Amino acid sequence: MSKPVGQNTLCVHSAHTPEPATGALSQPIYLTTTFERDADGGYPRGYRYSREGTPNRTSLEACIAALEGGIGAAAFASGLAASMAVLELLNAGDRLVAPLDAYYGSVRQFTEHCARRGVTVELVDFTDLTAVRNAVGGRARVVWIETPSNPLLNITDLEAVTAIAHRAGALVVCDNTFATPICQRPCDFGVDLIIHSGTKYLGGHSDVLSGLAVVREDHALLEHLQAWQRTAGSALAPFDCWLLRRSITTLALRVRTQCAGALQLAGFLARHPAIEQVFYPGLPQHRAHATAVAQMPGGFGAMLSMCVAEGRQAALETASRTRLFARATSLGGVESLIEHRASIEGPKSRTPQNLLRLSVGIEEPADLIADLEQALE
């Protein structure tokens, strides 16, 4: 057996070869909606109509599948379009088990869309394995994992939850947006399907909305996703596929730098008297640090949250004083962001009012620490 290829090498080389006709190193952007048939009506080059597939989409899908260790992937117009494609597997009477603290847009899909079509939706605390076991019971159809979670950075034990779900015959889905395949590969723990908001780390430059679903080994499941790309018409456009594939070239470089910065910031904040609590799985005092060490061999991610001791107003004022951290939602870009989560999540939010979420970019950690230091004064 040949040596496994490193993530940085996959980021550069996966589904990336010079274009045969011209030798161009960068793949051309194929701005065409239709493809020529041969004399007897066939499609010898594999492409027919761009909703069904394009060369740029093929490259992107092959690349993310290689990084996650799956057999294939499907690219969608957003992360939520990708998760909607997965939820299409559920029929009336089926049971979906998902975390209480999943991404709020995903929770809205579960509780509004899935519930309306007659799916039983059970939202539970995934850090409590007994609660997960009880909710899964003998007949869950899909178990949805998101780890680390947003914005409290809770860790779900991938191996334990996958075992519980598989014993009940359920399909296991993991939203791997926060960790990226650089830090954590859910397929290695038996997860059947991975979801990404490509808008975040995979895109990495806050300029392309996109989503991906990666299948570990089930060809019928991959065909379902590809059929949904064609049927719903929510596939990703060629230019966006190109941007994302280009960005993934530097994914490992960016994410490793961002993780190292986040770890330094978390340590600084954990010692700061104005901070009540820091949520970061890389800190030894995080309650699931040991699980994070076991399932995130590539790093603990670059998202962290902190509660400001003096409360909501002090948190809002802190965010208003940062100079390098931009006040904006979203995450995963090269630039650092700070956000008061409760106010964007709305009145139903379960997030503490004094919590600020940080997305750590690639700036020098010393500069980011100095920025937070002056903002917390």
Which residue of 177, 180, 318, 322 would you call a contact of ligand PLP, by CB under 6 A? 177
Alpha helices for 126-278 (secondary structure H): 129-136, 158-167, 180-183, 219-232, 238-248, 251-270
| C-alpha distance from residue 290 to each of 73, 155, 158, 160, 294 (Å) | 31, 10, 13, 14, 6
Q: Is 180 in the site for ligand PLP (CB under 6 A)?
A: no
- The CB-of-323 to ligand PLP minimum distance in angstroms stands at 25
Question: Residues 35, 48: contact at Cβ < 8 Å?
Answer: yes
Q: Is 64 in the site for ligand PLP (CB under 6 A)?
A: no
Instruction: Show the binding pattern over residues 84-113: x = contacts ligand PLP (CB under 6 A), - = does not.
Output: -------------------x-xx-------
Phi, psi of 174 (to 5 degrees): -130, 125
Which residue of 101, 122, 175, 240 would you call a contact of ligand PLP, by CB under 6 A? 175
- The CB-of-289 to ligand PLP minimum distance in angstroms stands at 21
Residues 141, 185, 200, 357: which is the catalytic one? 200
Q: Is 145 in the site for ligand PLP (CB under 6 A)?
A: no
Phi, psi of 122 (to 5 degrees): -115, 115
**Residue 200 is among the residues annotated as catalytic for this protein:** yes
- The CB-of-71 to ligand PLP minimum distance in angstroms stands at 22
Which residue of 99, 181, 211, 238 would you call a contact of ligand PLP, by CB under 6 A? 211
Strand order in the sheet with 355-359: 275-279, 303-308, 355-359, 337-340, 326-327
Q: Is 197 in the site for ligand PLP (CB under 6 A)?
A: yes
- The CB-of-311 to ligand PLP minimum distance in angstroms stands at 26
Six-digit token string for 276:
């009540």
- 57/272 Cα distance (integer angstroms): 46
Of the candidates 314, 297, 302, the residue with the CA atom closest to the CA atom of residue 354: 314
Active site residues: 51, 103, 175, 200
Binding site for ligand PLP (CB under 6 A): 78-80, 103, 105-106, 146, 150, 175, 177-178, 197, 199-200, 209, 211
